[in-house]
Structures are given as C-alpha cells and as structure tokens.
C-alpha cells in the first residue's frame, strides 16, 4: 500500500509543491549566471554519479545495492535541499533553480544511467528495463507535476503565495513519513543492510558536500552561492530513488532491494547533513559577532 499507491502519489505532490515555488526566472538563471549554474549542474549530473560509482567499487557493494546507489546518485535534488539551503543561509533562489533544471533533465539522464548501471553490475541477472518506459514514468511523476505547479504559480500568484509554504511543509513531512513507512515495512532488510550501505552513503554525502563547497569557492562564488552548491550536490531526492527502484524491480509488499540505498540514505542524510548545517550556521554567526 505505502509503496504501490501512497509513494507515487506523495512524490507527485512533492514535485507539484516544488513547481509552486518556481518562476520562469528560475529557468532564466541558467543563461544569466552560466558559470554559477554550470558548476552546480556538473557536480550533480556528472561528478556525483562518478563518485558513487567509485565508492561502489571501493566498498564492494553487491550488484543490486550498487544499482540502487547509482539510481540515488542520478536522482535530482528536491524540496528538502531547498529547505536545508534556506536553513543554512544559502542562496535559496539558486537552489530552487538547480532543483528545477535537474528535475527536468533527470527525465533523460536517470533512465540512461540506470540502464547502464543495471547492465554493468547485474549482467545476465539484470531485470528487463525499457529506458523509454522508465523515462516516461519519470516524466509523469516528476516533470509534469513540476510543470503544473509552475503554471499554477504563474496563473494564481496570490493563491500560491499563501499555499506554497504550507505545501513545502507537507512535502517535507511526507518525505519523512515515506522513508520511515517504507523502512518499517522492511525493517529487517534495513537493519541487515544499513551496516553494509552506511559507510558508502555517509562517505558519499560528506564528499559531495565538500566537493560542492570547494568547487564553488574555486570558481570564486559568493558564500551563499557556495552553500547552495554544496547542498545541491550533497542532498538528493530519496523519494525518487525509492520510487524508481520499485518501478524497475517491484517487491510486491515492502521495499525493493533496488530501493534500499535510497531508503537508508533518506534517514542518514538528515543525521549527517543537519548537524553540518547547524554547525556551519553557528560558525558563521560566531565570525560575524
């Protein structure tokens, strides 16, 4: 029930609420700030999957978990990354712009990278996957809701202004409930795999936060922009990863083995990223006082 019905519907609402926070100007930022945008996009769409691939080999993950981690690595950021960016005093508009563009691009990149990963890691044991079908599924559960949210924002700005903050809070709560609910249904599998997946996932999060922050300063971005790049690079949409894993390899009841890395990540991400964010904010405040 949670996986088959509630999860896809929740993801649709989460992506719709993301669309509500967008304007056409968010997409125009791609042209207005090419350097700023290029760094974040390259980090998310090229560097992140490459680092994940390297960590899979380093930690020796099993073939199914390897595919699951690659699915997570090519999932876009989400409402969560925008909320965390705001908490960290980052450039929230830039964060939203990253999320918008990557969410649309992932309709193409996620099926392609996932298709390659399945063939590479699983070989003859690979489940049959139609890249076009997966791309269409991604389009209907991510790009379409984002587009509808953007259209609603454009047509009913007053309504959006009052409803969007509530929708963002509901999305954040749904995200947490989805991860907890999905893991609760497969708690034994989670416990058995968290020891295996934990080191690689925690390493991935920390490395991408550092790479994002460092690359932004390397290209002389402002501090708020550097924070946005770091969080956009290090925080992925676990709900997309869980959904895609279950589309490719349905589990019947509970969490697909391909969804386990995203499920574990959904918990560990908060435990790793939030202390870093609060520590950073405290450090910045101490420098200013």
Handedness of CA 17, 139, 61, 183 (dihedral sign): positive
The verdict on domain 2-283 having CATH code 1.20.1530.20 is yes
Please, are residues 241 and 114 in contact by the beta-carbon 8 Å criterion?
no
pLDDT of residue 201: 94
Q: What is the rounded CA–CA span in Å between residue 255 and residue 78? A: 21
pLDDT of residue 243: 82
pLDDT of residue 252: 59
Q: Which residues of the chain have a pLDDT value below 50?
A: none
Please, are residues 131 and 61 in contact by the beta-carbon 8 Å criterion?
no
| Assigned token pair, 245 | 């894993």
| Assigned token pair, 265 | 């990540």
Residue 220 three-state SS: coil
Helix 131-138 crosses helix 238-248 at what angle (to 10 degrees)? 140
pLDDT of residue 47: 94
Which DSSP category does 221 fall into?
A: -
pLDDT of residue 7: 65
- State the DSSP H helix or E strand holding residue 198, giving kind and residue range, or none if neither: helix 187-218
How long, in residues, is the chain? 289
pLDDT of residue 251: 64
Spans of all domains in the chain: 2-283
pLDDT of residue 264: 86
């Amino acid at each position: 029930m949670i996986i088959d019905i509630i999860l896809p519907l929740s993801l649709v609402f989460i992506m719709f609420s993301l669309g509500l926070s967008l304007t056409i100007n968010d997409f125009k930022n791609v042209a207005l700030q090419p350097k700023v945008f290029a760094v974040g996009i390259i980090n998310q769409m090229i560097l992140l999957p490459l680092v994940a691939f390297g960590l899979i080999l380093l930690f020796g993950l099993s073939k199914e978990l390897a595919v699951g981690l690659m699915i997570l690595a090519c999932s876009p950021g989400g409402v969560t990354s925008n909320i965390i960016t705001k908490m960290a005093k980052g450039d929230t508009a830039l964060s939203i712009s990253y999320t918008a563009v990557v969410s649309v691009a992932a309709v193409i990149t996620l099926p392609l990278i996932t298709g390659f990963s399945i063939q590479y890691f699983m070989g003859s044991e690979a489940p049959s996957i139609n890249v076009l079908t997966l791309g269409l599924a991604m389009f209907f559960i991510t790009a379409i809701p984002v587009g509808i949210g953007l259209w609603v924002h454009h047509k009913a700005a007053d309504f959006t202004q009052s409803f969007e903050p509530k929708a963002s809070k509901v999305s954040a709560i749904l995200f947490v409930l989805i991860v907890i609910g999905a893991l609760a249904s497969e708690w034994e599998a989670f416990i058995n795999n968290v020891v295996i997946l934990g080191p690689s996932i925690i390493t991935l999060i920390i490395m991408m936060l550092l790479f994002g922050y460092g690359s932004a300063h390397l290209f002389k971005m402002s501090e708020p922009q550097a924070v946005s790049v770091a969080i956009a690079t290090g925080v992925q949409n676990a709900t997309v990863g869980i959904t895609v894993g279950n589309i490719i390899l349905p589990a019947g009841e509970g969490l697909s083995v391909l969804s386990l890395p995203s499920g574990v990540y959904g918990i560990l991400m908060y435990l790793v990223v939030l202390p870093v964010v609060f520590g950073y904010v405290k450090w910045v405040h101490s420098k200013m006082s």
